[in-house]
Amino acid sequence: MNKVVLMGRLTKNPEIKYAGKDNDMAVARYTLAVNRRYKRDGEQEADFISCVTFGKSAEFAQKYLHKGMRIVIGGRISTGNYKDKDGKTIYTTDVIVEEHEFAQNKDNGVGADSSETPKTDKDGFMEAPEGEVPFD
């Protein structure tokens, strides 16, 4: 099984290019800074993960994802290699992103937008907004 789930912040806005026979396939690349669980000498350390996504997902990334934004991604690891201009082999590791989710909102920087998230009552049930009950 090859499955990756990460939460982190974008280090810069996604870069999009078009590839394919007719330049009709969107390809977006971005780097995700993922904090480690431990701190060394009191300072938080992070891993910088190279991410690639394709098609509609790439167009979504370009339109809605921005530097500093916290997101959750799901995908798979892909490794490869190429020769640089000096003929040296360069090895690569990327996450092929299959899904993205926002991990913060504009108001408080954490979680989903509280105005759209139903609140849980003391009895454990969520209150459904008026007119949005799927059955009577």
Question: Residue 68 maps to which CATH number?
Answer: 2.40.50.140
pLDDT, tens digit (0-9, with 9 covering 90-100), for 10-40: 999 999 999 988 888 999 999 999 998 877 7
Asked whether residue 15 is assigned to any structural domain, the reply reads: yes
Gap between the Cα atoms of 88 and 16, Å rounded: 27
Asked whether residue 84 is assigned to any structural domain, the reply reads: yes
| Structure token digits, residue 37 | 């669980």
- Write down the pLDDT at residue 106: 58
- Write down the pLDDT at residue 125: 53
Asked whether residue 127 is assigned to any structural domain, the reply reads: no
Give the structural domain span for 56. Answer: 4-102
Asked whether residue 118 is assigned to any structural domain, the reply reads: no
- Give alpha helix (H) positions in 37-136: 55-64
Asked whether residue 111 is assigned to any structural domain, the reply reads: no
**Domain total of the chain:** 1
| Structure token digits, residue 125 | 């049930």
The per-residue pLDDT of the chain, averaged, comes to: 84
Q: 3-class secondary structure for 8-38? A: EEECCCCEEEEECCCCCEEEEEEEEEEEEEE
- Write down the pLDDT at residue 75: 97
- Write down the pLDDT at residue 117: 46
pTM score, two decimals?
Answer: 0.72
Check whether 109 has a pLDDT greater than 90.
no
Q: What is the DSSP letter of 116?
A: T
